[in-house]
Amino acid sequence: MERYEVGKIRFALGRLCDRTNRMNPEANLTELGLTLPKSPAAAGSYVPTVRTGNLLFCAGTICMFDGKMTHTGQVGKEHTIESGAKAAEICALNTLANIKAAVGSLDRVARVVIVNGFVNAVDGFADSPAVINGASDLFLKVFGEVGKHARTAVATNGLPKGTTVEIQVTVELKA
């Protein structure tokens, strides 16, 4: 298992589950050696999630773990594609924390519908899909087949708080 440390925050990232236990996404997180952070509070005039019908729209999440930034700066300058992908995985963990806070359990997720990913990158950066794979891969590891989703992955030259990645996710909930 790969160990990753930012300041005093330690992560175990990138390990595949021996099998995807679709019946219990939270058990899959444990198998991956991952722990959900505290659900991030809204940092402005918005709420972390909005539910309409069976859809849960999640506000953008950045690479912050328990209130501390883990990745700031641009891919292609301060970060590689690989460290950008780790940043995207942390964003996905924050999104999962918000989903759990909104509906009580990740088992309520019927499908990950779409992931919109934004990469803080140098001008001309063309590999934003490879960076956002960090989030997409985590959703597949946690949810199995229903973690497959539509996606947008774009590069930009600035994001809130200088974060390296931001993702915005919509999930369908079980009735």
15-65: pLDDT as tens digits: 444 444 456 999 999 999 999 999 998 989 999 999 999 999 999 999 999
Q: Which residue ranges make up each domain of the chain?
A: 2-173
pLDDT digits (tens, 9 = 90+) for 87-145: 999 999 999 999 999 999 999 999 999 999 999 999 999 999 999 999 999 999 999 99
Confidence of residue 7 (pLDDT cuts 50, 70, 90): very low
State the pLDDT confidence band at 165, using cuts at 50, 70 and 90: very high
User: What pLDDT was estimated at residue 51?
Assistant: 98
Domain made up of 2-173: CATH architecture: 2-Layer Sandwich (3.30)
Please list the residues that pair with 56 across neighbouring strands: 51, 171
